[in-house]
A and B are shown apart, each in its own frame.
Chain A
Amino acid sequence: MAKTTRTTKKEKDEILSEALDLDTDGFGKSAASSEVVLDLKDLQTHFTTRWGTVKAVDGVSYNVKRGETLGVVGESGSGKSVSALSIMRLVPSPPGEIVSGEVILNGRDLLKLSEKEMTSVRGGEISMILQDPMQALNPVFTIENQVGEAIKIHQGLRGKVLVDKVVDSLKKVRIPAPDTRAKDYPHQLSGGMRQRVVGAIGISSAPSVIIADEPTTSLDVTIQAAYLRLLRQIQQEEGVGIIFITHDFGIVAKMCDRVAVMYAGRIVELSDVRTIFNSPLHEYTKALIESVPKLEEKTGRLPQIEGQPPLLHNLPPGDAFAPRSPLEFTEEDASIRPELCEVEPGHWVQLCRSSVQNFDKYKHLIGNAA
């Protein structure tokens, strides 16, 4: 019995490795290395509102390695975008404030830099691709102007060299006829092409990390497929680390090496992509994956998560997911603030009886975490 299961697992691995070899269009193969480029430690970003303090990011830690894609998933209001904005120090203040934590990029803590130093980091060492390419581009300047602006600021190039570099960047994102396209205005390009231009600005200064905040939400599926493939190809060529913020589990399965699942400003589970999909431990991760309609499976009623996402200015003191959790637990269990613990190498889960099945199995880990 045990033997047969082992062989089937082996067979499964073989099929997978075959698929990896066959994969010629740039997906699947991971370019991840073990060198950490960006390290987030216990980041807390709070907003002061008239209803009280909103802990949008409440103690988030993750890291990104060179050539790796880290997916950050969660529902709206879970703090995934605010954590990315905090890395760039773009949180509007007031009302926002980065209360504590460290953001270490290539050995420097970004939160301790002066505003002037930070300006050279933004768009230089870290760049950002936003959701809506029409809002990210200025309608009254040409593509050449806008891609060139980033290069001029960060590399100090001028004249003919600058134009060459712009065309070169556009070539990298596979824009057809880049030298004529550079003279166009944003409205002359389609949505997919505009998003590529934003990508060209992003990679023009050879950043260590790209933050992609739902870059394909405004694109159609067929355009999205081409864009994701391009992003992965660029990653392999440049070895850049990508933080990919999304709510689409399909994209996570396709793009990411590791995944952080966020709920109410905290990470509830963090692991490599296969573990997240095949053996998730936190009830929220499980429910989130189950509630996505799948093409391969039929149909009828979907498993749903009861209730609404919590209000961030009025969070329960302990486990924020407890009111929606299907497990049985006492009120006391839910009132303990859960800790993120490493249950297996590389697999981190926020442990608490109210949201993790077989909690007793992992109970001894609490308190040992770094």
Chain B
Amino acid sequence: MITGKRKKLLNVNSLRVHYPVTGGIFFPKETGRVRAVDGISFDIAPGETFSLVGESGSGKSTVAKSIVGLLGNMYGDVEFDGTNISTCSSNELMNIRRQIGFVFQDPYGSLNPRMRVGDIIGEPLKVHKLYGEDEDFRKKINDLLNIVGLNPNFAERFPHEFSGGQRQRISIARAIATNPDLVILDEPVSALDVSIQAQVLNLLIDLQDKFNVAYLFISHDLSVVRHISDRVGVMYMGKIIELGKTDEIFFNPYHPYTKALLSAIPEPDPDVELKRERIILSGELPGYLNPPSGCHFHPRCPISTPDCSNLRPEIKNIHKSNHFVACIKVEGY
């Protein structure tokens, strides 16, 4: 759907992740479905940063996990470098996982407390049989620690000896250990203090310049996303409702949800804060078991019409500008 002649590293086409909800104790029967991800499509070019933003429960992390094949109940096509993840053999999947790094949100929960930092970073190298236990292996780990700005002596220490920012650097070193083409960053800076957050974001920007790695960046913090991304997709209830170049999304948003999301972020400047137009949404994210009919956003939407509760808008390229929106109220849709 989102086309173009450009080279693609990752191509996601109408990806769906549905969880069945069962009732009955002895003979479980499917009584409903939670459509955590409901038909989303996007692609990532080599060396590009693509961001998914949305509130909690919008399905961002589910997308990330299903790309590396960590979830069942997955339908649709995910192609990485020409190989379809859902149909390929386990050998091929192993090969793909070598080319995709993953950084998780929680720097405390994602590092094994009983392993030394050197072993944590070296584990992907051993799993993929790239290095044996020898001098080269230790040299590689020292290099990796240097790249992420840590002292090579830290290889002998344990995770609890490090602060949140340093732990996230360890996670990043582990993610880039196998020279991946794509690194999935699931809220990598959400748990960090502002000054440390800036350090980690700068490290990510530097790594991209150095290794031409592509990022799938997942975050709920729009100001961080604006700093790091080339293109942005905005998710609401398992669907991408707007997708386009970063500047397009931030300065020329079409979808009312994107507008509300942007206006809800407090800007760190009291004068700007006073002058900003503010759209405050009523209500909260509706339940997934009984999603609203038509456009899922219509009960909270400030400009909804009766049509919105009947028609389910598909995401469309409007004005042929590679700016995609799913809203019937947008001019040109």
Contacts and interface: CB of A to CB of B under 8 A. Distances in A.
B103 to A, nearest CB: 18
Interface string A278-298: 100000000111011111101
Given A20-B274, A304-B195, A304-B198, A220 B267 contact: no
A25 B265 contact: no
B292 interface: no
Contacts of A304: 195, 198-199, 202
A75 B270 CA distance: 20
Contact of A220 (B56, B227, B269, B274): B56
B261 A247 contact: no
Given A277-B270, A308-B163, A75 B281 contact: no
Interface residues of B, number: 46
Interface of B: 55-56, 163, 165-166, 193-199, 201-202, 205, 220-224, 226-228, 250, 260-275, 278, 280-282, 284-285
A75 B195 contact: yes
Interface residues of A, number: 55
Given A75-B196, A309-B193, 7 more contacts: A75-B195, A250-B273, A253-B267, A277-B269, A293-B226, A294-B269, A295-B250
Nearest to B260: A222
A221 B261 contact: yes
Nearest to A324: B195
Contact of B193 (A76, A190, A228, A294): A76
A249 interface: yes
Contacts of A226: 280-282
B266 A250 contact: yes
Contact of A289 (B197, B201, B268, B274): B268
Contact of A293 (B163, B201, B220, B272): B201
Contacts of B165: 308
Interface in A120-136: none
Nearest to B164: A76
A23 interface: yes
Contacts of A249: 194, 268
Given A226-B280, A277-B270, A305-B195, A295 B275 contact: no
Nearest to A193: B284
Contacts of B265: 221, 250, 295
Interface in A202-240: 220-226, 228-229
Q: Nearest 7 pairs between A and B by C-beta? A: A250-B266, A249-B268, A291-B198, A220-B55, A305-B195, A225-B264, A304-B198
Contacts of B274: 16, 19-20, 23, 27-28
